[in-house]
Amino acid sequence: MFAGLIGIPVGILSAERDRLWRWVKLAIDTLQTLPSFVYLMPAVMLFRVGDFTAMIAVVAYAVAPAIRYTVLGINRVDPRLVEAGKAMGCTEWQLLTRIKLKLALPEIMLGVNQTIMFALSMLVITALVGTRDLGQEVYIALTKADPGRGLVAGLAVAFIAIIADRLISAGAARARARLGIAEEPS
């Protein structure tokens, strides 16, 4: 959730400013090339071991798709529609909120979907810094060689991911249908 709350506004600002997008793209490209364990090191050094450290690592790992898909969605809006909005006297704020964001909504929702998937994948890794969640259950099962406990916890994480994916995909399909955008092949 925090990754989306940070990533979507950064994506909106970056889509509107090419110079900012170059810097943000450099930062998120760098973040996406780092191995997942690397996110834990600076967070642990700055904030000690615990849930807050895990949250910082998860947000840093999962923010990139929210930014990238928001920029992609806004940049893919048909310029003729933006021009029509300008011709009708829309302000920049109205162009953004009533045209660009509405038409970019399916891509933004895909970014939210990917952000959730990235966060859930990082969840198990953050168990190494002492979180108290499903990732910790997987980690405990690994250390105690308890396949039953690990399978249940792993399936719980997988079911959360599947349910989130289905709900967001349905929402994106509904948004596409409402906007009259053709469904993209899966």
Structure tokens at 54: 């895990």
pLDDT at 144 over 60: yes
Structure tokens at 118: 């990235």
Instruction: Give the C-alpha distances (Å, rounded to integers) separating 28 from 1, 126, 169, 180.
Output: 18, 20, 24, 32
Residues 54 and 57: their CA atoms lie apart, in Å, by 5
Cα 66–Cα 59–Cα 20 angle in degrees, nearest 5: 50
Q: What is the pLDDT of residues 88-102, one digit of tens each?
A: 998 989 898 888 988
Residues 50 and 158: their CA atoms lie apart, in Å, by 23
Dmax (CA) for the chain in angstroms is 67
**Secondary structure (3-state) at 131:** coil
Place of tokens 């490209």: 29
The H-or-E segment that residue 91 falls in is: none
Q: What is the pLDDT of residues 158-176, one digit of tens each?
A: 888 899 888 888 887 887 7
pTM confidence score: 0.80
> What is 18-79 written as a DSSP string?
HHHHHHHHHHHHHHHHS-GGGGHHHHHHHH-SSHHHHHHHHHHHHHHHHHHHHHHHHHTS-H
Q: What is the pLDDT of residues 3-30, one digit of tens each?
A: 889 999 999 999 989 999 999 999 999 8
The whole-number average pLDDT for the span 121-139 is: 76
Structure tokens at 176: 């596409």
The confidence band for 69, taking pLDDT boundaries of 50, 70 and 90, is very high
- Looking at every residue in the chain, the average pLDDT score rounds to 84
Which letter does DSSP use for residue 133 in this model? Answer: S
Structure tokens at 171: 């929402």
